[in-house]
Structure 1
Amino acid sequence: MKALVLAGGKGTRLRPLTHTSAKQLVPVANKPVLFYGLEALRDAGITTVGIVVGDTAAEVRAAVGDGSRFGLRVTYIPQQAPLGLAHCVLISREFLGDDPFVMYLGDNFLVGGISGLVDAFREGDCDARILLTKVAEPQFYGVAELGPGGEIRGLQEKPEHPRSDYAIVGVYTFSPVVHDAVRAITPSVRGELEITDAIQWLIDNGFRVDSHLVGGYWKDTGRLQDILECNRIVLEQVERDIAGTVDGLSELTGRVVVAPGAVVENSVLRGPIVVGADAKIISSYVGPFTSIGRRCVVQNAEIEYSIVLDGSCVDGVSRIAHSLIGRNVEVSRAAGVSNTHELMIGDHSRIQVRS
């Protein structure tokens, strides 16, 4: 069995971060979201993986390499434009051959892995098995209508009146017959080949499509609040590990990870938090559910429930919360007139300041 991982797309909901970085490489607890998916595939016994890449192909290649660090053999499949999930299957025909495969959206975050889904598909007699989860507001998702045996009878895309509360998660298993489906469908009103249309084609043509419910936690990490929530979920599971240097004036409480080369001086760290390699935390407070990336500096500052990416500096600012700070960013106190904010902000940014 093979895997097709989708790591293209524009990531418009996470701009400006995704102007310069792949959305699949945004870190959760200092590890890119994409890596969690690759590890889940490996743990399910799948080692041959194709990664569909777009404008951020170079960055994804640099991060993943040949896949050997994950125990995988990776092939890269370029997609010239984001023309839909079914289009990804269409252009991957040569790589996939006649093997069954898992299609995994690289910006999806699953706790608990996909071994149950893969094993059920291997042992069953269906042509596709689709991962589903119950949601409170199904009108905002692709929704599956189920039969009494768990088979999928029909799909709705963001329906005004949903026929169920089962949303489609971004992990699918397919037999080779799906190649007929993606060739048979036509572009949607968005101009894309929709995977939901391909699945509906399978159903309409008498092929069995079964459902599989998410056993753990799932999020599509396309929005800031989703990234922060995933960060919280992962940090809930970390174990205390102090490999860096912590001075006697600092107070560390709870599950705190300080990576090798990191330095903590005269600071309060309240877990769960992760401090990356070679970071410096000086005369600061770092509160729960915060991830500080590699080579960051947090000095005379307060921050909690946030993610700070590699190489950034937060100096003299309090209090930062519910924030995602990109790579090599400088956040500092303005000099001069009191109660004045001095900002240099890129396109599509969002800044909230106290009035």
Structure 2
Amino acid sequence: MKGIVLAGGSGTRLHPLTLAVNKQLLPVYDKPMIFYPVSVLMLAGIREILIITSPEFLDAYKRLFGSGAQYGVSFDYAVQPKPEGLAQAFIIGSGFVGTDNVGLVLGDNIFFGANMSPLLQKARERAKGATIFTYHVDNPAAYGVVTLDGNGRPLKIVEKPKQPDSPWAVTGLYFYDNRVLDIAAGLKPSPRGELEITDVNQAYLDAGDLHVEPLPRGYAWLDTGTQDSLLEAAEFVRTIQHRQGLQIACLEEIAFLHGFIGRDQLLDRGHLFEKTPYGQYLLRLAAEHK
């Protein structure tokens, strides 16, 4: 399976913060925002990742991640000339995906919870259909909403319903079989001029191939699209890391524990950042696994 991180857009809700920098490069406490969605794909065991961003920020992502060898993964890069919907990622990334299945995560979404990796790998290993992840929210009208039957099967999906009949919001994390490339290519723009991811999910629902994974109680799903939510995400990460002494979205740690890199590479990264708590964490991790 290939992975895509969609990190385009103009970040208008965060102006003036994003007048000169891509939203997904903003800090969420001690890391660039994009580390968090990339970590989700790595936790799923995905090692070939495409980052899609606006033309003016492409070089910044290449400087940040390079080839990905330091994490034992491979990064490719592509441009989204202008934001025309989430489903556009599959048109831009069709050559990268090829004949594989694909996972898509939005660059401004943060996921956190115990046993996240097995949950993600279960979705990755599903050979047919689509898997979406839902989250119980108290303001579902702001999101795409899925209604489930008594057995947890999806009945319908509605984008930002005025009167939601379900509290389950669709998060910015999706896994699809290769049919998604043809589905996305055949979409017509919505009234707001975008290729909607809800229409992709609806196509799988109509075919009886849409699987829904509700994130359990105790998981956190954070959207960082506004100043307040950006600050809340940073405070959340800081609190967890300070209380537990464990990093969230530490790409080197994930790579090491999943066998993508060895201890020597982990040490090299730790020494690179040794003046920071992040680097010191990597050095401690290496010392614990002699």
* TM-score, structure 2 normalization: 0.79
The answer for unaligned runs of 5 or more in structure 2 is 246-272, 281-290
Q: Residue in 2 aligned with 1:21?
A: 21
The amino acid of 2:191's aligned partner reads V
In 1, Cα distance between equivalents of 2:167 and 2:203: 22
Superimposed CA distance per residue, residues 228-279 of structure 1 (whole angstroms, 9 cap, x where no aligned partner): 11111111123499xxxxxxxxxxxxxxxxx9668xxxxxxxxxxx8999xx
Rg larger for: 1
Give the Å deviation of 1:155.
1.1
Pairing of 1:145-224 with structure 2 (within 5 A): 145-204=147-206, 206-215=207-216, 216-224=219-227
In 2, Cα distance between equivalents of 1:276 and 1:202: 43
- Asked if structure 2 preserves the Cα contact closer than 8 Å seen for 1:181 and 1:199, the reply is no
In 2, Cα distance between equivalents of 1:148 and 1:210: 14
In 1, Cα distance between equivalents of 2:70 and 2:27: 17
In 1, Cα distance between equivalents of 2:3 and 2:274: 34
What is the SS of the residue equivalent to 1:237?
A: helix
In 2, Cα distance between equivalents of 1:239 and 1:145: 37
In 2, Cα distance between equivalents of 1:24 and 1:59: 11
Q: Which has more strand, going by share of residues?
A: 1
In 2, Cα distance between equivalents of 1:214 and 1:221: 18
Does residue 66 of the first structure (1) align with residue 67 of the second (2)?
Answer: yes
- Structure having greater relative contact order (Cα 8 Å, sep ≥ 6): 2
In 2, Cα distance between equivalents of 1:198 and 1:36: 24
Q: Residue in 2 aligned with 1:231?
A: 234
Q: CA RMSD in A?
A: 2.4
Pairing of 1:184-333 with structure 2 (within 5 A): 184-204=186-206, 206-215=207-216, 216-239=219-242
What is the SS of the residue equivalent to 2:60?
A: helix
Superimposed CA distance per residue, residues 278-329 of structure 1 (whole angstroms, 9 cap, x where no aligned partner): xxxxxxxxxxxxxxxxxxxxxxxxxxxxxxxxxxxxxxxxxxxxxxxxxxxx
The amino acid of 2:59's aligned partner reads A
Relative to structure 1, is the Cα distance of residues 98 and 151 closer, same or farther in structure 2, using a 3 angstrom cutoff? farther
Give the Å deviation of 1:2.
1.1
Q: Which has more helix, going by share of residues?
A: 2
In 2, Cα distance between equivalents of 1:67 and 1:260: 20
Relative to structure 1, is the Cα distance of residues 123 and 47 closer, same or farther in structure 2, using a 3 angstrom cutoff? closer
The amino acid of 1:100's aligned partner reads N
Q: Residue in 2 aligned with 1:57?
A: 58
The amino acid of 2:147's aligned partner reads E
In 2, Cα distance between equivalents of 1:260 and 1:74: 25
The answer for unaligned runs of 5 or more in structure 1 is 242-258, 263-273, 278-355
Could you tell which deviates more after superposition, 26-35 or 61-70?
A: 61-70
- Asked if structure 1 preserves the Cα contact closer than 8 Å seen for 2:110 and 2:221, the reply is yes
- Work out the number of aligned pairs and report it: 248
* TM-score, structure 1 normalization: 0.65
Sequence identity, in percent?
36
What is the SS of the residue equivalent to 1:18?
A: coil
Q: Residue in 1 aligned with 2:85?
A: 84
The amino acid of 2:211's aligned partner reads D
Superimposed CA distance per residue, residues 140-176 of structure 1 (whole angstroms, 9 cap, x where no aligned partner): 1111112333232221111111121100100000001
What is the SS of the residue equivalent to 1:52?
A: strand
